Amino acid sequence: MKTFLAFVKKEFFHILRDRRTLLILFGMPIAQILIFGFALNNEINNAGLVVLNRAGDYESKQLLAKFQNSTYFNLQDPVFTEAAIEQAFKDNRAKVALIIPLDFGKNMQAGNEQLRIIGDATDPNQAQTLVNYAKAIIADYLQQKQNTNTQLPITTAQPRMLFNPELKAVYQFVPGVMGLILLLVSAMMTSLTIAKEKELGTMELLLISPLKPFHIILGKVAPYWVLSFLNAVIIIILGVFVFGMPVNGSVPLLLLVTLIFSFASLALGIFISSKANSQLVAMFLSMFGLLLPTLLLSGFIFPIENMPLPLRIISNIVPARWFIELIKGIMIKGSPLSLLIKPFLVLCFITVVLTIAGIKGIKTRLS
> Considering beta carbons, is residue 166 or 208 the nearer one to other proteins?
166
The stretch near other proteins (CB under 8 A) out of 21-29, 205-213, 229-237, 264-272 is 21-29
Residue numbers 204-233 binding other proteins by CB under 8 A: none
333/363 with CB nearer other proteins = 333
**DSSP of 195-232:** HHHHHHTHHHHHHTSSS-HHHHHHHHHHHHHHHHHHHH
CB of 13 to other proteins, least distance (A): 18
Residue 270: closest CA among 204, 331, 224, 232: 224
CB neighbour list of residue 254: distance below 8 Å, 6 or more residues apart: 236, 247, 327, 330, 331
**Which neighbouring-strand residues pair with 97?**
50, 118
Cβ proximity to other proteins, 127 vs 267, nearer residue: 127
| Cα 347 off chain centre by | 19
Strands across the sheet with 96-100, in order?
73-75, 47-53, 96-100
Distance CA 14, CA 89 (A): 56
**φ, ψ of residue 122 in degrees (nearest 5):** -60, -35
C-beta of 81 vs 109, nearer to other proteins: 109
75 binds other proteins (CB under 8 A): no
Q: In angstroms, give the least distance from the CB of 363 to other proteins.
A: 20
Interactions with other proteins, residue window 251-310 (CB under 8 A): 276-281, 283-285, 287-289, 291-293, 295-297, 301-303, 305-308, 310
DSSP state of 57: S
331, 323 Cβ separation under 8 angstroms:
no
Identified binder of other proteins from the candidate list 16, 22, 28, 230, rule CB under 8 A? 28
Stretch that binds other proteins, among 44-52, 231-239, 254-262, 349-357 (CB under 8 A): 44-52
Instruction: Write the CB contacts of 50 (distance below 8 Å, at least 6 apart in sequence).
Output: 76, 77, 78, 79, 84, 85, 88, 93, 94, 96, 97, 98
Segment 135 to 164, residues that bind other proteins, using CB under 8 A: 135, 138, 142, 145-146, 148, 150-164
The yes or no reply on residue 316 touching other proteins (CB under 8 A) is no
Neighbours of 315 (CB within 10 A): 19
93-122 binders of other proteins (CB under 8 A): 108-109, 111-122
Nearer to other proteins, 215 or 344 (CB): 344
Q: State in angstroms the smallest separation of the CB of 217 from other proteins.
A: 18
Q: Which 45-64 residues touch other proteins, going by CB under 8 A?
A: 45-47
Among 66, 234, 335, 346, binds other proteins (CB under 8 A): 335
Instruction: Tell me if 31 contacts other proteins by CB under 8 A.
Output: yes
Quick one: which segment of 3-11, 86-94, 209-217, 219-227 binds other proteins (CB under 8 A)?
A: 86-94
Q: Which of 219, 223, 239, 329 binds other proteins (CB under 8 A)?
A: 329
Give 210's Cβ-side CA count (13 Å radius).
6
250 lies in the site for other proteins, by CB under 8 A: no
User: How far is the C-alpha of 130 from the C-alpha of 308, rounded, in Å?
Assistant: 26
Site size for other proteins (CB under 8 A)? 115
